Amino acid sequence: MHEALLTLGFGLVAAAILSLSALAFTLEYSVTNVANLSHGEILTVGAYCAYLVQQHGGGVILSGLAAAAGGGLLALAVHNGVVDRFVRRGIGGLPTFIATLGVSLVIQNVLVIIFGASNLGYAVPQGAPRTVGPFLWTDTEIQIMVSTVVITVLLYVIIVHTRFGKSLRAVSQNRSLARVSGINANRVAALTWLLAGLIGGYAGFILAESVGTFSPYSGFSFFLITLTAAVAGGLGRAVGTLAGGIIVGIALEFFGGYVSASYNLAFAFAILSLVILVRPRGLFVGGRRSVFE
């Protein structure tokens, strides 16, 4: 029982990182209807930005901010440079999806040329593990979870209580209708991608903190798990995605702890395939729609 609780504790950390990444992905999807295959690279670039700041003597807070800024700029560039041009031309979801796969390939390999293909170590003083209730967490892990909760709450407030959030919801539900109502849909989409990039870049930073190493490919591998969480939660739905991230994160940690950590990715995709085949619109569809959609 005690061991199970410990695993649950680690699972919560994994779930926090996964939820942020999946939330960012779902934001991107919600305003453009494009499954962004280069989402993982936002995390990777975030990790590299944090790494650079750390190498120059920056602290944890500065590294986190740099990661968010790097991720945000990248997401904005991908949106304005590629995705928006495709969406405006009316090029469908699948071709744009393929194009983002090309973008992902480009970013990964630019990073390979700049930093090399091998793993870089990202060492942060983790602090001694301390007991919090039944769980055992280091300071870094507590920082990861607290910041995730803060970011999620902030995001909720932005989406539900601000004018921008209202436009975001309008664009996500019906882009043309939003436009005839006087909303500048392209601008809202660009800002949403920027917001998603800020969150995604930060997720890359906490991923690097928690794993301890990263490479130009680590974002893409993590994206595959992110996809599982986002699809399980229902693409484009924020609350569902959050729940999907928590469930998948904890399930993966238990699978890794009790079966085999090597097959984690395979396990994630088994969940994903099952969800897509049995409940393609997500686990939580039906019933009353939440305002957070």
Partner 1 sequence: MIDYLVTVLTEGSIFAIMALGLNIVWGWSGDFDLAFYGYVALGAYMTLVLTVGPATNPTTYILGLTLPFPLAVALAVVSAMVLALIVGAIALRHLRGIYFSIVTLGAVYVLYVVTGQYVPLFNGYNGVSGLFDPMGDVLGLDYSSYSFFYLGLCIAVLIIVLLLTTRLNGSRFGLALRSLREDERAAAAFGRDIYVTKLKAYVLGAGLGGLGGALYAGYLTAFNPSAWSPVETIILYAAILVGGRGSTRGVVLGVAVMVMGLQEATRYLPEIANQPSFAPALRLIITGVVLVLFIRFRPQGILPERRFRDKDPAGKGDAAAVEAMVAGPKLDTGAA
Q: Is residue 110 near partner 1 by the rule CB under 8 A?
A: yes
| Cβ nearer to partner 1, comparing 254 with 269 | 269
109 is a site residue for partner 1 (CB under 8 A): yes
Q: Is 173 in the site for partner 1 (CB under 8 A)?
A: no
246-275 residues in contact with partner 1 (CB under 8 A) are 260, 262-263, 265-266, 269-270, 272-273
In the bound complex, what is the minimum distance in angstroms from residue 95's beta carbon to partner 1?
5
Nearer Cβ to partner 1, position 87 or 196? 87
Nearest CB to partner 1, comparing residues 27 and 53: 27
Nearer to partner 1, 119 or 147 (CB): 119
State which residue, 108 or 241, has the beta carbon closest to partner 1: 108
Residue 276 interacts with partner 1 (CB under 8 A)? yes
CA distances from 284 to 22, 82, 99, 289 (A): 15, 32, 30, 10
Of the residues 157, 224, 259, 291, which one makes contact with partner 1 according to CB under 8 A: 224
User: Toward partner 1, which CB reaches closer, 105 or 136?
Assistant: 105
Q: Distance of CA 92 to CAs 82, 217, 278, Å?
A: 13, 27, 25
- Closer CB to partner 1, residue 64 or residue 240? 240
Q: One symbol per residue from 72 to 101: x for binding partner 1 (CB under 8 A), - otherwise; what is it?
A: ----------x--xx--x-x-xxxxxxx-x
Minimum distance of partner 1 from residue 161's CB (angstroms): 32
Interface with partner 1, residue 227, by CB under 8 A: yes
The residue ranges that bind partner 1 (CB under 8 A) are: 35, 82, 85-86, 89, 91, 93-99, 101-106, 108-110, 112-113, 116-117, 224, 227, 231, 260, 262-263, 265-266, 269-270, 272-273, 276-277, 280
